[in-house]
Amino acid sequence: MTRLDETFAKARVDGRGVLVGYLPAGLPSVAGAIDCFTAMVGSGVDVVEVGLPYSDPVLDGPVIQTAVDRALAAGTSTADVLRTVEGVARTGAPVVVMTYWNPVEQYGVDRFARDLVSAGGAGLITPDLTPEEAGPWLAAADAHGLDPVFLVAPSSTDERLERIARLCRGFVYATSVMGVTGERSRTSDRAPALVARLRAVTDTPVGVGLGVSNGDQAAEVAGYADGVIVGSAFARAVLEADSPAAAVSGTGALAADLAAGVRRRSVG
């Protein structure tokens, strides 16, 4: 079993959902992001998702775009991302990197996989990599023991769901809405059906992302999904903080609220 497998299996035994927390590396700084992630894990985040800042984040909404732009303006590099993974991995939580495919290709696919493992990484989420083009990454992931995570959407056909789920390890990333990332006043009414369709074709855990920003919403999503993925709310907590210490405090407090939510999962 991989570290992600163990995390989801333990949560299932405990009768709760897994909380996945995202921030881009380099926000508010490289060291500051490590401090925020450490606070998030200390407050109940189970899996850390480190974003690799990229200049064309087509899936991301305005909050994460702003966060990524700030990280890029500060000079955050792929080496800084790997340094962040290494720093956060010391918490003991599984760390995955979320990245668009171009930076990995530019870095070198096998080299990236090797360096991610060396830093303590557990896997990679690739939102714009299709199964048809994933051969080199899947080979590298297999060679280095990394979990590849791909995205599915409510518009995906059953055939597509089965094909993508078959390639995923650790979990399948289910986007709850058709659109970009961002906080929403209510969770998606299309997500439960998407999770049910995935359950019909795979035993791999399903994590739902896009839209969750508080503990009540986390409880609702954890009622039908294995994992709850939160990004924009954490990025906003950092962007609105007036100091690095406030960013750490804010992300920790948000993580505690969300963690309480996945532990009181609403079923029904």
Backbone angles phi, psi at 45, to 5 degrees: -70, 130
Those residues whose C-beta lies under 8 Å from the C-beta of residue 111, and which sit 6 or more positions away, are: none
Give catalytic residues, as residue numbers: 49, 60
d(CA 61, CA 9): 31
State the Cα–Cα distance between residues 65 and 267, nearest whole angstrom: 33
Q: Is 155 exposed, middle or buried (0-12, 13-18, 19+ CB in 10 A)?
A: exposed
Of 151, 183, 171, 265, nearest to 218 by C-alpha is 265
